Amino acid sequence: MLNNVQRELPDDLMKELRYQPFKTVEIGHPEIQRAAPKVTVDQGHAKLVSSIEAVIKKVGLKDGMTISFHHHFREGDYVFNAVMQILIDQGFKGLTLAPSSLTNVMNKMVVKAIKAGVVTHITSSGMRGELGDLVSHGGLENPVILRSHGNRARAIESGDIKIDVAFLGVPNSDEVGNANAIKGNAVFGSLGYALIDAQYADKVVLLTDTLMPYPNTPASIKQTQVDYVVKVDKVGDPEKIGSGATRFTKDPKELKIAEMVNAVITHSPYFKQGFSFQTGSGGAALAVTRYLRESMLKKSITASFALGGITKPTVDLLNEGLVGKILDVQDFDKGAADSMAITENQQEIDASWYADPNNKGAAVNQLDVCILSALEIDTKFNVNVMTGSDGVLRGAIGGHQDAANAKLTIISAPIVRGRIATVVDDVTTIVTPGDSIDVLVTELGIAINPKRKDLLKSLVNIPGVPVFTIEQLRQKAAKIVGQAAPLAFTDKPVALIEYRDGTLMDVVYQVKD
Amino acid sequence: MEIKHTAIAGTLESSDIQIMLSKIEGPTEIELESAVEKQFGTQIRTLMRTILEQYGITNVKLKAVDKGALDCTIKARLITAIQRAIDKQNDPDWEVLG
């Protein structure tokens, strides 16, 4: 079956997993019946458990169940590996792993769990490194289901993901489960993704190294949601949660791209008093924030809010009065995480509020300007952030599909990376459909999606910003690197890319070596 | 023409290629380890053979570690390695270079 972005989807798998093909980026007004968790009633007098082993017994974890984790500790996570090792040791089989995402520090453990038959199904935002390699080479029998952060919230709410036990690491909690992530030894700021698990999992287990006196406020996760609290030695390494002090790039190519991204924003009709933006992380994105700051000061324009994964430079804009509020689903660095405790206008939001398509209006729907990255973008403006140039899983959807609903969605990417073209005829894997993308910015110039004729007038005559068709940019890339031989895949699906509404966007196949 | 001794050119930096030429008995061998093997491996080997032939180099083993170098870089590094291997680094073969 062919979907609306011309990807051939395997009929038998579609039928088996009851998938509809991707049709449109318009969500419309469907009526949704939400699922509700099973609650084991408790008065909360004996929630504190002394070990992970003991809590696994208490929650009644069985073979074949679905377990979840969050990835807010990023590369400094100790909780995931500690819990998974015990599940492997105790010989559990056939579990479904449903974390908000998988970071590199978890890879070895997931590989081990797959090989031991402990984990047989995975749904995640993405995967990288040796885990991505293993799955792309057919190491997991069932295809991984990849969902955006907004789509994960939707899937949990609708019951597509039914979490039996959520193991949630928190920097602090009291003995009955009131917890936040702004105090303790391993602070990460917003608990955004974990809040959905706390709300919808049948059993919610908090793991913390810092017990607070009751009542612990502000409570991001509440005692009404929590079954057990486990005291562990250390939940995470604060040094590895974020990159520490965020440094601005000195790479002239990244600076040039950032300068052009800023020019596109400031010349667009959306750059006016009270606008909103999401920049994300990465060298170029941080540089954009710096250029944008200068433009805002010069034009005396302030933003109403900044959204998404938050970094220190965005918090600086807030403190400077250039941004009114921050809607914060996740913090990318220590500066942003630490500031949450002391900054009133840095509002923690959950993944549903952030980006869920099937609620009564998410923050991404209010967003004016969004800057996103791409591993590949094709002449239809479809974007790949999932598979590398060798066809192997090495990325994450993150909020890409969700934030791309901004009024002005800009993809910032170098025209080539090493010998690999970024602008191509057809991306290896479609993650975000071209209908969501408005402008591509490269160091050579920009391309405007022909569907956005309204943008042409304001963007064609910006000094120092040449405008090309995306086909012209593709040709320029091909001229630099030559024509790559097509990648070879087997017919075994290893991962399914959902669109944020739960329809099927693309299929990743096993690579042929 | 046979090379006089082993020679090396290039680095292991991203977007570069390191090429080593050494003398062997028998026909030319190319051993390529490339970050872009799947997409460009065949093209890179063809380019290397063409340049070796232009210089008339025989009985050589070419060992290369490619970190995603462009064709122009590969050509420059290989020519440098050849010139070094035949002790002509101060006396380039302009006809081939042209």
- The reply to whether B96 falls in a domain is no
Domain co-membership, A189 together with A259: no
Query: Do A191 and A340 belong to one domain?
Result: no
Q: Give pLDDT, residue A436.
A: 98
| Amino acid residing at A326 | I
What is the mean pLDDT of each successive set of 10 residues along chain A, which is 513 residues long?
95 95 97 96 96 98 98 96 98 98 97 98 97 98 98 98 98 98 96 98 98 98 98 95 70 94 98 95 83 97 96 94 98 93 96 98 98 96 96 96 97 95 97 98 97 94 96 97 94 98 98 91
Residues 478-497 of chain A with CB under 8 A from chain B are 480-482, 484-485, 487-488
What was the pLDDT predicted at A246? 58
Pair A318, A234 in one domain: no
Domain with A419, as residue range(s), is 252-487
How high is the pLDDT of residue A281?
75
Q: Which value does ipTM take for this structure?
A: 0.85
Residue A202 has a pLDDT of 98
- A367 shares its domain with A416: yes
pLDDT of amino acid A241? 86
Judge whether A262 lies within some domain: yes
Quick one: pLDDT at residue B94?
Answer: 73
Domain assignment present for residue A234? The answer is yes
For residue A269, what is the domain's CATH number?
A: 3.40.1080.10
Tell me the residue range of the domain where B22 lies. Answer: 7-87
- Render pLDDT for B64-87 as a digit per residue (tens, 0 to 9): 999 999 999 999 999 999 999 999
A419 touches chain B (CB under 8 A): yes
Beta bridge partners of A412: A441
Q: How far is A104 from chain B (nearest CA, A)?
A: 21
Return d(Cα A40, Cα A495) in angstroms, integer: 35
**A72 in the same domain as A197:** yes
- Residue B89 confidence (pLDDT) above 90: no
The tally of CA atoms less than 13 A away on the side-chain side of residue B5 is: 3
A202 with A276, same domain: the answer is no
Mutation test of the interface with chain B: which of A419, A424, A476, A489, choosing the one with the most B Cβ atoms within 10 A? A419
What's the total number of domains in chain B?
1
The shortest CB-CB distance from A418 to any of B14, B42, B71 is to: B14
In this predicted structure, what is the pLDDT of residue A358?
Answer: 97
A269 and A385 together in one domain: yes
The answer to the question of residue B92 being in a domain is no
Cβ pair B70:A389 closer than 8 A = no
Assign residue A311 a region (left: φ > 0; alpha: ψ between -120 and 50; beta: otherwise): beta
Query: Is A4 inside any structural domain?
Result: no
Whole-number pLDDT of residue A243: 61
Q: At B37, is the pLDDT very low, low, confident or very high (cuts 50, 70, 90)?
A: very high
Find residue A224's DSSP bridge partners: none
Last residue of a domain, one of A241, A273, A299: A241
Q: Residue A127 and residue A71: Cα distance in Å, rounded?
A: 12
Report the domain count for chain A: 2
Side chain identity, residue A235: V
Judge if A300 and A428 occupy the same domain.
yes
The answer to whether B40 contacts A485, with C-beta atoms less than 8 Å apart, is: yes
**pLDDT grade, residue B98 (50/70/90)?**
low
